[in-house]
Amino acid sequence: MSLGAGTVKTYITPKPFTPQDFKPHPAKESLLIISEAIRFALKNLGYSVAEAPGYDPEIIRQIQAEGEVVSDYLAKVLRARRTADRDELKMLTDTLKVQVSAILAAAERLKAIAANTDKPEWVNVYLQTVVTNLAEVDTLVKRLP
């Protein structure tokens, strides 16, 4: 194919590759780690009530209620991870830092449930693991930028 008289062939030059344009926000990585720690805690909460344990149904309801608190916090973490706006991300991480006290209160209530002796020992192991995970979440949230 030939170009006609007076026709100029044009090429679009791509922008040069700049690695700094593709670096994720540091909070996004931290939020990923936080969300995984919360998911692990929720998984262990589920294990603590999964089988027919043969202990007081009221204790099971208390554990499930604490699971709802933790699930709500996980939803907020995931919302912060999904946002693309840096200003909104900053606002959401600040909100997470304030609301981490709900996670710590849930951990304290789970610790009190674990101190109850009316259930099998394996339930206590799961609950203590959850308390440890939630303490880790508190530490990670306090380090958010």
The CATH number given to whatever domain includes residue 66 is 1.20.1440
Number of domains observed in the structure of the chain:
1
Average pLDDT, the chain: 85
Mean pLDDT of 121-136: 90
Mean pLDDT of 69-79: 96
DSSP 1-59: --PPTT-----PPPPPP-GGGGPPPHHHHHHHHHHHHHHHHHHHHHHHHHS---S-HHH
Residue 33 in any domain: the answer is yes
| pLDDT greater than 90 at residue 32 | yes
Domain that holds residue 91: 27-142
| pLDDT greater than 90 at residue 137 | yes
Q: What pLDDT score does 34 carry? A: 95
| pLDDT greater than 90 at residue 79 | yes
Distance CA 60, CA 39 (A): 19
